[in-house]
């Protein structure tokens, strides 16, 4: 991992930068995104919550206006955006790996039956 990115990742905070206009809860942490030519530095608040259908959803808030957020919706979209190197999802994914675990869980017993 790039030394500058590693140093920047540790600049996370536990206090939101922005007002939570979405109201979905699930605040995790805030951080400053890694700067690239396409994505300048920005302060982001990271939210993760359980959707009514049981899926986890993510939201990255970058300002105080109601529409100032990036939301790839479910974990699949979030991981896909991070894997393709899209900022700020890539930096956020590195932080999520540092503070938690990403695990695969079978959602249906149907595929696990012996026989």
The predicted model scores a pTM of 0.74
Residue 89 has pLDDT above 90, yes or no: no
| pLDDT for residue 37 | 55
Residue 12 has pLDDT above 90, yes or no: no
Name, in order, each residue with C-beta under 8 angstroms of 61's C-beta and a sequence gap of 6 or more: 16, 17, 18, 20, 21, 22, 44, 45, 47, 68, 69
| pLDDT for residue 40 | 58
Q: What percent of the chain has pLDDT over 70?
A: 77
Rg, C-alpha atoms of the chain: 16
Q: How far apart are CA 2 and CA 59, in angstroms?
A: 25
């Amino acid at each position: 991992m790039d030394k500058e990115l590693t140093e920047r990742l540790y600049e996370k905070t536990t206090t939101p930068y922005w007002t939570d206009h979405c109201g979905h809860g699930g605040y995790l942490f805030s951080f400053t995104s890694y700067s690239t030519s396409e994505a300048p530095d920005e302060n982001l608040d990271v939210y993760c919550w359980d959707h009514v259908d049981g899926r986890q959803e993510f939201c990255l808030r970058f300002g105080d206006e109601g529409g100032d957020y990036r939301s790839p919706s479910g974990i699949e979209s979030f991981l896909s955006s991070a894997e393709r190197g899209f900022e700020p999802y890539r930096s956020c994914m590195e932080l999520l790996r540092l503070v938690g675990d990403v695990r695969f869980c079978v959602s249906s017993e149907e595929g696990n039956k012996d026989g």
